[in-house]
Chain A
Amino acid sequence: MKIGLFIPCYIDQFYPQVGIATLELLEKLGCSVTFPLEQTCCGQPMANSGFSGLNKGCDANFVTNFSGFDYIVAPSGSCVLHLKEHLKDESRREESQKIRDTVYELTEFLTDVLKVENLKADFSYKVGIHSSCHGQRGLNLSGMTERMLPFFSKPEQLLKMVGGIELSYPKRKDECCGFGGTFCVFEEAVSVKMGKDRIDEHEANGVDYITAWDSSCLMHLEGILKRQKSRIKIIHIAEILNSRNSASYKKI
């Protein structure tokens, strides 16, 4: 099973530890992982702003880098959703279709493909789960409060395998954090208000960390937490699932 590792642009630049945790975790679970060196971005920032028409070059580069793998895995629900729905290369239709069919967000890859049942991980902290929207509703990573269907959660299922962890959900279990791509600056007032409200609910639960499967949500929440000088820290789910023990957990 050949796996291509896609590390979203902002993780590559600002949260490399998330990429490292993803790579280490996949290798620990017996995967043979390649990181195509010329990858850049999935194209979501342009497309969500209405400029999907400009993505030919970006999409072509993605197809070039990620053809020929059995699976492509990324620690980002929104990037994976975008690729599944919008990746397009008219000159390489078969390859781009294959990529769309085989690209996975990390947690769903672990539960659906690797069918992980236990993890040697330890993270003895109180962790609040933020249900990053695009992964949750778009990729069906977990049940949604709006739908009258039995609840399930792939990320929670994995987190429960982590030793010492104490999980909680905010009062509004799956309300959006307010990042929304360029929304975070073009509708700054609403964006920050939404983020603050999320944080208030996690604070009410007395969490040490807030986790999510999208670093974009976490970057936005972290910005507010730091401005508030809060003691709450953010951490990507990949880092928790990859943690050996709490003491040895460190950032670069």
Chain B
Amino acid sequence: MNPKHADLAEQFIADGSRTNWHDDTLWFVREKRDKAAHGLPEWEQLREWASQIKNHTLSNLSNYLEQFEEHAKANGIIVHWAADGDEHNQIVHGIIKRHNIRKIVKSKSMLTEECHLNEYLSHQGIEVVDTDLGERIVQFRKEPPSHIVLPAIHLTKKQVSETFHEHLNTEKGNNDPQYLTEAARQHLRDKFIESDLAITGVNFAIAETGGFVVCTNEGNADMGAHTANVHIASMGFEKIIPKAEHLSVFLRLLARSATGQPITTYSSHFHKPRPNQEMHIVIVDNGRSRQLGRADFRNSLKCIRCAACFNTCPVYRRSGGHSYHTAVAGPIGSILNPNLDMKANADLPFASTLCGSCTNVCPVKIDIHEQLWKWRQVIVSEGLVSTGKKAGMKGMAFVFSNPKLYRLAGRMARWTMKIFPFIVSNKLNVWYNQREMPEVPKQSFREWYLENKKK
């Protein structure tokens, strides 16, 4: 049985104070984004440039990827191509096996989440230590991250304290974030120094130079990459940008959109491996070329994974990332995931009121809310909605095509509600759970009009 957003959201909301905290905290991040954006008079122009650069890139993608590969290889980087998540995992595993490596650290990479890399390697008896603080916390708790930038945002410091007490022997009941972060720093410092292999994500890959950029606040990607003898960078192929100068546009937008910072602490530009280091890059498709072919949905590939859409989405803030049951939650997840598995993710495009706020905050101008509407049409035409809903909609469409029938149905509904209110005002009527029904007026507008206006 596929878990559904509506049910998971209902469970999340049952904890009212935690929901309020989650909602307030992420709204605060949205406000920080607003403040940062207001600080740049050219903000809307930047978004337009970013959007156009990405549009152009998608229209010339094959050339840019080949250009990237050529330059990367010339710089000594080993380039791999993976058609899907499984192949990505096999390639990574192959490198690990070849070097006989046991100690692996990984920094934040939504792509590796999408491919379920940790799970795959774990089945092969290989443990990976997630080094982003939020990801390490959820790794200890055996949970997926709930937000692509703030993985542990759904947890309180008390919960983090309990987790660290269990796994790192920190003081029981000490919830101080400073204390807990210090404990994680010491614990992970050892892991970095011992590590033989580091896996990182890629924020941007530069076609012109064959290099790639990794952005972090914590420094964990670099601590791993510069200690390990093998560095594997995993990227979805849509991370390509044409030229190094374009980084100015994207880096100016990324952190401001994500957290309200003008830039992340580290924006590391990798071009060559260290002497005696092996550097690999794995370029992954996993359904992206299929999405590229969907004219209505290809814009979703412009995403730079800033999560501004998560922070602004009133539904996400009140339902939590786990309600989306996928690696990438929120509004962008709802337009990416149906491409990966339409049946399992058929509920996601409906987890929205189509308010349009996401589209407005997207730094690369993805028309997210319009794609949500379009996915709904596709999902229905694929037959992935309940028969009840289908029947109800067919009935509605029929009634609305027939003025006389519409008026009759309206009159009957009003009459029923007036004379037998309990027929609608009861537990079977979902509306009635927490809301009163609207009052029944004496006449419909049309009836009033005929009586008072029509001469």
Q: Which residues from chain A sit less than 8 Å from chain B, CB to CB?
A: 7, 9, 11-17, 19-20, 23, 35, 37-41, 43, 45-58, 60-61, 133-134, 137-138, 144-149, 172, 174-176, 178-181, 183-195, 197, 219-220, 222-224, 226-227, 252
**B403 located at the interface, meaning its Cβ lies under 8 Å from any Cβ of chain A in the complex:** yes
**Residues of chain B with a CB closer than 8 A to A145's CB:** 34
Complex: A212 Cα to B356 Cα, angstroms: 17
State how many angstroms separate the Cβ of A39 from the closest Cβ of chain B. Answer: 7
Instruction: Work out how many contacts link A and B, with CB atoms closer than 8 A.
Output: 221
| Cβ-defined contact, B6 with A219, below 8 A | no
| Cβ-defined contact, A146 with B400, below 8 A | no
Contact of A39 among B399, B403, B450 (CB under 8 A): B403
| Residue ID in chain B nearest A146 by CB atoms | B360
Q: Which residues from chain B sit less than 8 Å from chain A, CB to CB?
A: 5-6, 9-10, 13-14, 19, 23, 27, 34, 37-38, 40-41, 43-44, 312, 314-315, 318-319, 350-357, 359-361, 373, 376-381, 385, 389-390, 393-394, 396-403, 406, 410, 413-414, 430-431, 433-450, 453-454
| Cβ-defined contact, B312 with A146, below 8 A | yes
State how many angstroms separate the Cβ of A61 from the closest Cβ of chain B. Answer: 6
| Cβ-defined contact, A35 with B44, below 8 A | no
| Cβ-defined contact, B37 with A148, below 8 A | yes
User: If A137-B355, A146-B360 touch, does A45 touch B396 (CB 8 Å cutoff)?
Assistant: yes
14 contacts between A and B (CB under 8 A): A9-B410, A35-B446, A48-B373, A50-B376, A50-B378, A57-B402, A133-B357, A172-B27, A180-B355, A191-B353, A220-B435, A226-B436, A252-B442, A252-B443
| Cβ-defined contact, B23 with A138, below 8 A | no
**Residues of chain B with a CB closer than 8 A to A176's CB:** 314, 353, 355, 357
| Residue ID in chain B nearest A8 by CB atoms | B445
Sample of 20 further A-B pairs with CB below 8 A, known A50-B350, A53-B377, A186-B350: A13-B410, A14-B439, A14-B441, A15-B441, A16-B444, A16-B447, A37-B454, A46-B396, A46-B400, A50-B379, A51-B397, A146-B312, A147-B360, A176-B314, A183-B350, A189-B10, A190-B6, A190-B13, A192-B434, A252-B441
Contact of B356 among A9, A133, A148, A187 (CB under 8 A): A133
| Cβ-defined contact, B44 with A147, below 8 A | yes
| Cβ-defined contact, B360 with A137, below 8 A | yes
| Cβ-defined contact, B376 with A219, below 8 A | no
| Cβ-defined contact, B431 with A185, below 8 A | yes
| Cβ-defined contact, A15 with B438, below 8 A | yes
**Residues of chain A with a CB closer than 8 A to B378's CB:** 50
Complex: A43 Cα to B117 Cα, angstroms: 45
| Residue ID in chain A nearest B381 by CB atoms | A53
| Cβ-defined contact, B361 with A146, below 8 A | yes
Contact of B401 among A15, A47, A60, A189 (CB under 8 A): A60
| Cβ-defined contact, B406 with A9, below 8 A | yes
| Cβ-defined contact, A52 with B446, below 8 A | no
| Cβ-defined contact, A146 with B34, below 8 A | yes
**Residues of chain B with a CB closer than 8 A to A40's CB:** 399-403, 406
Complex: A39 Cα to B407 Cα, angstroms: 10
| Residue ID in chain A nearest B410 by CB atoms | A13
**Residues of chain A with a CB closer than 8 A to B453's CB:** 23, 35
A-B CB proximity, top 5 nearest = A57-B401, A180-B353, A223-B435, A50-B380, A50-B376
Complex: A21 Cα to B243 Cα, angstroms: 58
| Residue ID in chain B nearest A54 by CB atoms | B397
| Cβ-defined contact, B6 with A187, below 8 A | yes
**Residues of chain A with a CB closer than 8 A to B44's CB:** 147-149
